[in-house]
Amino acid sequence: MEWLIQLRQIKRQWIYLCLAVLVSIPLFLKIRLPFFVGPQAKGLYEAVKNLPEDKVVLLAMDWGAATKGESMWQAQAIIEHLFKEKKPFVILGYDIQGPQLSEELAEKLAKKYHKEYGEDWFNVGFITGGLPLLLRMAKNFQATFKQDSVERKPLSALPLARKIRDINDIGLIINVTGSGTYGDWITIQTTYKVPLAVACTAVITPDLYPFLDSKQLIGMLSGLKGAAEYEALIKGSHRETTLKMMMSQSMAHLLIIILIVLANIGLYMERRRRRSG
């Protein structure tokens, strides 16, 4: 009986070791658990696919190194899909690191899909000013962002930038966020009725479901799972990576469930011993 009670006091170092070993297994071996693509990811996928030809996608990249494990895979899948579907896009972001990290992803994928900077995509970079800035952008894009962040050219020198005068030229906004920055974009969506999708970290997901219900969001990618779902939809070259990572996550969840059960058995046995005196 005593060993069952000890289940409540497993040293955390052993738990971390078990976690590291279990999470590593699917990365070495080919393990496949059932994997479904949810309607939220499909919503974003359809919106990108059905985007009118004369419209541009606005990628608001509000993520950084702290949430790279989830946000980078989402950003990569979205950029790859935009290049594949020949949908031009603009990168900008409230987070200092987000636009720069996304620019690196876009440059790598642009080579693969033979896309030109300034014609198929460009980067405005880090922006600050919150909602007032976005409201100004909605009325006059050129006056709000005077130059791009990569070549430091005036926007009038970039063929794609010349096409964007105001919010009416934006066909879809995708906010990849590691924090709660989606609020400003929701205000823009409600004010100007531009379709909006959010790719967020799993922590934020529960907050976003009401926005999906009220149709303020047309789609959502939730954490690493969202990235894997999206890659499954576009059948990108990175699909295998995110799927393997998802299997690792399932193993970790399994361990957490087992630990919760073991700790509860320990608690039950301890109470029983106390009652019996």
Partner 1 sequence: MVEVIVTWLAAIATLGIYSILYKENPIYRFFEHLFIGLGLGWTIFEVWKDILQPKWWTPMVVEGKWYWIFAFVIGSLYYFIFSPRFAWMARLVISTLMGLSAGLVFKVTAAIYIPQIEASFRPITFVPSIARGLNNLLSTIILLCVILYFLFTISHEKQPLAGASKLGRWFIMLGLGAMFGSTVMARLSLFIDRLTFLLHDWLKVIKF
DSSP state of 151: S
Type of residue found at 115 = K
Q: Which of residues 18-37 bind partner 1 (CB under 8 A)?
A: 19-20, 23-24, 27-28
- Cβ–Cβ under 8 Å, residues 101 and 63: yes
Angle at 102 between CA 96 and CA 106, to 5 degrees: 150
User: Which among 44-52, 79-87, 168-176, 245-253 is the span making contact with partner 1, rule CB under 8 A?
Assistant: 245-253
Q: Specify the DSSP element, H or E, that contains 55.
A: none
| Residue selected from 2, 52, 53, 132 as contacting partner 1 according to rule CB under 8 A | 132
Interface with partner 1 (CB under 8 A), residue from 211, 262, 263, 270: 211
Comparing CB distances to partner 1, the nearer of 260 and 267 is 260
Residues 199, 48: contact at Cβ < 8 Å? no
Determine the Cα–Cα distance for residues 189 and 191; give it in Å rounded to an integer.
6
Q: Return all residues near 49 (Cβ < 8 A) that are at least 6 apart.
A: 85
Answer yes or no: are the C-beta atoms of 109 and 76 closer than 8 Å: yes
Q: How far is the CB of 275 from partner 1 (least distance, A)?
A: 27
Listed ranges 50-58, 78-86, 109-117, 242-250: which one lies at the site for partner 1 (CB under 8 A) = 242-250
Residues near partner 1 (CB under 8 A) are 12-13, 16, 19-20, 23-24, 27-28, 65-70, 72, 96-97, 100, 125-128, 130-132, 146-147, 149, 152, 183-184, 186-187, 189-191, 201-206, 210-211, 213-216, 222-225, 238, 240-241, 244-245, 248-249, 252-253, 256
